[in-house]
A = this chain, B = another copy of it.
Amino acid sequence: MKLGVLGGGQLGRMLGLAGIPLGLRFRFLDASAEVPAAAVGEVHAGAYTDLAALARFAAGLDLVTLEFENVPADACRTLARTLPVLPGARALAEAQDRLREKTLFRELGIPVPRFAPVDDATSLQRALGEVGLPAVLKTRRLGYDGKGQVVLREAADAVPALAALGGRELILEEWIPFERELSLLAVRSRGGALACYPLVENQHRGGILALSRSPARGITPALEQEADRHARALLERLEYAGVLAIEFFQRDGRLLANEIAPRVHNSGHWTIEGAVTSQFENHLRAVLGWPLGDTAPRGHAAMINLVGTHPPAAELARLPRTHVHLYGKEPRAGRKLGHLTLVEASPSELERHLDAVLRAVRPELAGA
């Protein structure tokens, strides 16, 4: 069984590492052949918009999935004429456009911050009336890691913000003074089976995920069930197959949906050692229509992202009881180069261990 993956970054690499033991083989499509996934399969270097490259990529594959959500929906549709592409163009289209995504949340009864579409100065004024201040003006498409967004604190910020982001379709969103970000990793198989991992608690630095704890601290069963309900509603509406991440803001004990990622997600990397079945294996099981694996945690886990730079591997190997995951990428500011995972039997052991590891590799996060 040979799977194609659109995108060849670290998520593709970890899909390959999870799939090889299942007897799967992989081919990746990416702009360059020098990508992290090259360690675990063949890489076709090509553009998603090049129909001939897509045809060569598809030849001999049993199935296509993706590790990058900004694949043009046209590429998915072209591939879907000859073989299954999962999750499909529908889920991508919803996830690629913040306005459609938030509209879908609202339709499904999932609480969401106030929002309104913005195309120009006139619609921005109307949106400010609906949403209020402070607010965040964002591009509807292609934003990630905090890029393509401007915070509006007062009315005078509106014109410069529009100028900074202008010429693109935008959305104005209520700025939420949230207590923390939570994310839920959910997986649905082609056969309709559904499973969720525990709610995860995320901390960012510079708009980039820095630290995840699983399970999130102090979650009530009611909140966990609410998150699972929202996930089920979304995945069933989208007739989704694979892993999907939902990011929530937590405020006053309530969840507000922020966005979805129709793929395996950085806040689920802890599942490699911290859950019975990793998000990567479960994504593969789901798109293949196999039974899902158990999503139960194997303890209390934390995941620390290594961003921009990191100590040499031999130094990281000194950290006790720490699982090292490097992606084989060249250091560059703001680039995710790897992650570390800790799994301990109790929250207090995890916090003690996490504090020691953070002091060694990301001291700015210690105590956070």
- Residues of A with Cβ closer than 8 Å to B? 1, 13, 17, 20-23, 25, 39-41, 276, 285, 288-291, 293-294, 298, 313-314, 317-318, 320-321, 323-328, 338
Q: Is the CB of B321 within 8 A of A21?
A: no
Given contacts A40-B40, A298-B298, A314-B288, contact A276 B21 (CB under 8 A): no
Residues of B within 8 A of A13 (CB): 20
The listed residue (B25, B288, B314, B320) touching A290 by CB distance below 8 A is B314
Q: Is the CB of B39 within 8 A of A326?
A: no
Q: How far is the CA of A247 from the CA of B17 in the complex (A)?
A: 30
Q: How far is the CA of A288 from the CA of B315 in the complex (A)?
A: 12
Residues of B within 8 A of A23 (CB): 313, 326-328, 338
Residues of B within 8 A of A285 (CB): 317
- A-B pairs with lowest CB-CB distance, top 6: A23-B326, A290-B317, A21-B325, A20-B39, A290-B314, A291-B318
Chain B residue with the shortest CB-CB distance to A324 = B22
Q: Is the CB of A21 within 8 A of B324?
A: yes
Chain B residue with the shortest CB-CB distance to A292 = B317
Q: Is the CB of B276 within 8 A of A326?
A: no
Residues of B within 8 A of A324 (CB): 21-22
Q: Is the CB of B40 within 8 A of A326?
A: no
Give the shortest distance, in Å, between A26 (CB) and chain B (any CB): 8
Residues of B within 8 A of A325 (CB): 21
The listed residue (B39, B276, B293) touching A25 by CB distance below 8 A is B39
Q: Is the CB of A321 within 8 A of B298?
A: no
Residues of B within 8 A of A276 (CB): 321
